[in-house]
Amino acid sequence: MSAENSNGHLQTRQLPKEFLAAAVKRANELSLQRAERPYRPSSELKFLLEVQVETAHMPLMLVGEPGGGKTAAAYHLQHELMQKTQREGRDANVSLHHISCHDNLSPREILYRFDHLARLRAATDGKVIPEHLVGKTAEWLATVAQNPDLATSPEFISFAESVIKVVELSHIQAKTLLDPMSFMVYGPLGEAIIRSINGEESVVLIDEIDKTPPGFEDQLLEVIEHLIFTLEEAGLSVAGNKELLHIIITSNDQRELSKAFLRRLMVHEIKFPSKKELEAIVHDHLPQVNNRLARAAINFIIRLRNELELNKPPSTAEVIQWIKVMQAYNQSAESIEAYEVPLLEMIIKDNEDRRNVEDYLRRRSY
Amino acid sequence: MTVTELSSNLEQVPSQTSFTNLLYLLRDKGINVSTAEWLNLQAVLGRGGIQTMEQMYQTSKAMLVKDPSQYPDFAQAFAQFFELSSNNSDSEEQNADPSSANDTGMTADDLALRNLLLQNEDQEKKVQTAVLATPSTASPADVPEDDNQVEETETYGQQTEKPEQANDSTSPSLLSKIREESESRKQAHEQESRRKMYERVLRRLKNKLTSTTAEITDKLDVKGTVKHIAQSGGNIVPIWERAVNIQPQLLLLLDVWGSTDIYVDEMADFWKAASKMLGKITILAYHNAPYGEVWPVEDGNRPIHPIPLSKLWPQAANTKLVIMTDATMPLDRDDNTGLYNRHDINFDHPRLAGAKPKEYRNTGLENFQLMGQHYKRAVIINPNRQRDWTHGYAGTTTNHSLEKIRRIFPMFELTEKGLNNAIDTLLK
């Protein structure tokens, strides 16, 4: 976050450390809460997730309307895997790495980046032998040159041994410090692959891959199929464990993905839930919901979706939020049944749709 | 029955590749399954990941079909290969289709595995039926409270009361799923994929159109100039105002009624996609040829609010014109709707007050030519496929009109490739 001061210079607004720690903690909590949110996958999706984890070990791409539960499916998978590992008495640390795609995202960014600056700093620091030691060595060398007998004195041997140790140490330190592997900063997918090598289980969510620039997915073919990627700076290729890394990809179909990429995935379309399924989903999310209000709202949504051709039909997530807010503001089921529908803005976002729905409501309310 | 119990039945699964001819059947239906995808499915089958026919259906659909618009074709091929249709009408349809002969090329091992999957399916269904029949498992959301729900519950009731249905060699739930995929959703899928295709192509046009904004004008930005002088320590540099809203507009002209009626779905989808992707665009209509006037598309097939063509010319220089027509009509017609005809206009119409009769004296062809002169960037999108452009409408020789109109405007078919080429032409 930045702001302009009176001199017109940009200044960075610092977040106090105690707040930063709290914010990071809160973010982690939210991520876990998201995984624990109720989610009711269709029997088909449930089975395909099982196939993905147990036998196929290949990424699953979910397509369908926005707000239909594609992203939530990945969090659900994480939650299910954590529960499974807990049941089996193993460490329930299944991490979720959420990659939100955008048009500037590069494939390498999600795998790793090499921190060149840190390595340069380390190289400079590693070469320096303390100045006082250099000076003292020069003094001893001059003294021993004048009086060779002193070369066998316990004082000199002790000093020489300590210098060699320091030099050896600095070499070892330099070797370790300058090892390229120490400067790899892993992206979400890279980190999950490294975790899988270490025997830790992860779910990677590549969310809205259709927002990436064309050709993005073609640079990930090897990673997607074999979990192999090359760390160029170290001259190494590493391969993850497919049984421990589960990739979920979502797409809203804004651009066509390459055939080579698609052939390496399973694809499943999440359909809008049936009336009965939607009722159950609403009850899962809002256990205290007024049943009549929920039923009236769901009936209305189903009618809208069936009778009007909407550019952006209300999604499951929007319906849940809408019912939640209606309940909070004591809206009645009767008003919806009489086609006097409150808070339409929460479910109808497109201007043309809004005109159509208002027209529909006028006709029905006569 | 648990999955583990079911998998014990699958020990008889043959180790070699199974159901190979399904691969070829799918490819014949236009679903280009690759060898690698097929082997992936075989691997899952080999590891015992598929226990029932329904699971076979779900897994093979997810692994082999990457475009949901192909689900209906997949469902048909799957049912045909595994001979799942028990319905008479389905059988008749199959017999009528020469490509769906009874011989689906299953080996003895394939048949054994097919029967095993069906057998497991039945066993699993029995378990589900038993669970459904237990009243305590019903959640509050399952309690019917209106008519529709009662119907749904009755469907469940039929299953619970007639468990013998589950013993049928063909699974009702799987069959209903296949029927749903192959029939009721086919039209919706076609429409959806068509709309998405239009949106994809139009997004390209939108991106190009919106990138041509913010051009420098010849008007001095006084405030900006003074501010710059103050900030740069007295260095005088004139700052010019920028026009941000001069991007070219788009006019979509639809040929409605008559021969284009059969393309009404495609045209309406294109119109909707254009409105969605390009925001406020003008959409006007005419019939066969513009005879001096057009009208807002909301009017339908006849002008309720006619707009004289001459009112379009002032904006034509900055407007790109897309005409959607099959360009098919007689050259001369008794009812004056041919290409060489001109209309008798009722100038008493209040909307035409002030319109000059001479504007209306052109023939349809002359008005197309006039449009071509005013709109420097114009294309025709023809919903009829290019291969049929020479045939004419309903076996007539009206393709002559198409050839004449095509000389005025470049013409492209309403396909992804055609639309992309049309956009390239518009953006030249």
Where residue B211 falls among pLDDT bands split at 50, 70, 90?
A: very low
The pLDDT > 90 percentage for chain A reads 41
Element containing residue B12 per DSSP (H, E): none
CB B237 within 8 A of CB B228: yes
A 128-147 residues with CB below 8 A of B? none
pLDDT score for A202: 94
Instruction: State how far the Cα of A208 lies from the Cα of A100, in Å rounded to an integer.
Output: 7
CA-based nearest residue in chain A for residue B152? A276
Average pLDDT, chain B: 74
Q: Does the distance separating the beta carbons of A56 and B49 come in below 8 Å?
A: yes
- Residue A184 pLDDT more than 60? yes
Q: Given a cut of 80, is residue B336 above it in pLDDT?
A: no
- Point out the residue among A255, A276, A279 whose CB comes nearest to the CB of B200: A255
B327 contact partners, CB below 8 Å, separation of at least 6: B255, B380, B382, B401, B402, B405, B406, B411
Cβ neighbours of A352 in B, within 8 Å: 275-276
Q: Looking at beta carbons, which residues of chain A come within 8 Å of B181?
A: none
The CA distance from A80 to A13, in Å, is: 40
Residue of B nearest to A277 (CA): B141
- Residue A112 structure tokens: 């790793």
Partners of B50 on chain A (C-beta within 8 Å) are 51
- This prediction has a pTM of 0.60
The tokens describing A24, both together, are 């990071």
Q: How many CB pairs under 8 A join A and B?
A: 77
Contact status of A87 with chain B (Cβ, < 8 Å): no
Task: Decide if A295 touches B, using CB distance below 8 A.
Answer: yes
Residues of B in contact with A309 (CB under 8 A): 272
Q: What pLDDT, on the 0 to 100 scale, is given for residue B212?
A: 44
Tokens 């459904």 locate to B132
Helix (H, G, I), strand (E, B) or coil at B239: coil
Torsion region of A13: left, alpha or beta (phi above 0 gives left; psi -120 to 50 gives alpha): beta
Number of C-beta neighbours around residue B182 at 10 A: 19
A-chain residues near B141 (CB < 8 A): 276, 279-280, 282-283
A48: closest CA of chain B, how far (Å): 7
State the angle between helix axes of A43-51 and B53-64 in degrees (0 to 180), rounded to the nearest 10: 70
The pLDDT tens digits of the residues spanning B101-132 come to 445 677 878 888 888 888 888 787 777 666 65
Q: Which of A281-285, B66-70, B334-338, B394-398 has the lowest mean pLDDT?
A: B394-398
Q: Is A49 an interface residue toward B (CB < 8 Å)?
A: no
Three-class DSSP labels, B339-377: CCCCCCCCCCCHHHCCCCHHHHCCCHHHHHHHHHHHCCE
The pLDDT value recorded for residue A173 is: 64
Chain B positions contacting chain A at CB under 8 Å are 34, 36-37, 40, 43-44, 47-50, 55, 58-59, 62-63, 65-66, 68, 71, 139-142, 145-146, 148-149, 152, 196, 200, 203, 272, 275-276
Do the Cβ atoms of B224 and B242 come closer than 8 Å?
no
Q: Which helix (H) or strand (E) holds B285?
A: strand B282-286
pLDDT grade for B337, boundaries at 50, 70 and 90: confident
- Cβ B140–A254 below 8 Å, yes or no? no
Q: Do A255 and B66 touch (CB under 8 A)?
A: no
Lowest mean pLDDT segment, chosen from A90-99, A266-275, B93-102, B318-327: B93-102
Burial of B260 (0-12, 13-18, 19+ CB in 10 A): buried
The partner residue sitting opposite A311, judged by closest CB among B49, B50, B272, is B272
Beta-carbon separation of A63 and B149 below 8 A: no
Contact A280/B at CB under 8 A: yes
Q: How many helices (H) and strands (E) does chain A have?
A: 15, 11
Cβ–Cβ contact A60 with B under 8 A: yes
pLDDT band, residue B352 (cuts 50/70/90): low
Average pLDDT over residues A134-162: 81
The overall average pLDDT reported for chain A is: 85
Mutate to test the interface with A, among B37, B63, B201 (most CBs of A within 10 A): B63
List the beta bridge partners of residue A63: A251, A269
Q: Band the pLDDT of A234: cuts 50, 70, 90.
A: confident
**Cα distance from A58 to chain B (closest Cα, Å)?**
9
What is the pLDDT averaged over residues A302-317? 86
Tokens encoding B63 = 């692994």
pLDDT tens sequence across B260-308: 888 888 888 888 888 777 766 788 999 999 888 888 887 778 887 888 8
pLDDT reading at A344 higher than 70: yes
A58 and chain B in contact, CB less than 8 A: yes
pLDDT over 70 percentage in chain B: 68
Is the predicted pLDDT of residue A121 greater than 80, yes or no?
Answer: no
Is the pLDDT higher at B241 or at B43?
A: B43
Chain A residues lying within 8 Å of B66, measured CB to CB: 259, 262-263, 265, 267
> B151: pLDDT confidence band, cut at 50, 70 and 90?
very low
Q: What is the dihedral of CA B113, B116, B120, B126, to 10 degrees?
A: 140
More confident residue, B337 or B53: B53
Contact check, Cβ <8 Å, A265/B145: no
Among A271-285, A350-364, B269-283, which range has the highest average pLDDT?
A: A271-285
Chain B nearest-CA residue for A271 = B68
Instruction: Give the sign of the dihedral formed by CA B125, CA B130, CA B133, CA B136.
Output: negative
Q: Which residue in chain B has the smallest CA separation from A57?
A: B44
Cα–Cα separations (whole angstroms), residue B191 to A119, B195, B264: 56, 6, 12
Question: Do the chains contact at B66 and A54, CB–CB below 8 Å?
Answer: no
**According to the model, what pLDDT value does residue B215 have?**
53
Kindly determine whether residue A295 and residue B141, on different chains, have CB atoms separated by under 8 Å.
no
> Under an 8 A CB cutoff, do A269 and B71 touch?
yes
